[in-house]
Amino acid sequence: MRPHTPQPLTRDEHLELGRELKKARIKLHELAALVVDVYGPQHQAALTFQKAIVALDTLSEDLQAQAAEDLRGQRVEGFYT
């Protein structure tokens, strides 16, 4: 049995995933601001939100690079970032 060969995402799939991650980023920032307002910036939950925001930003950058690889020769700027 041969190993599963992954198929790259299509342009439409990258666009949709990018839209969803942008929405998630906005929501995460809103929730983080709420926690900071209520508990302060040094509260563990506020710090964890910051880590989540950094992780989501890193994920978006990684997927932006992947879109460029999957869709070579096509414009992909701004799909995720």
pLDDT in tens, 7-62: 999 999 999 999 999 999 999 999 999 999 999 999 999 999 999 999 999 999 99
Q: What is the pTM of this model?
A: 0.87
pLDDT at 5: 78
The amino acid present at 1, given as its one-letter code, is M
Token pair of 71 as six digits: 């869709």
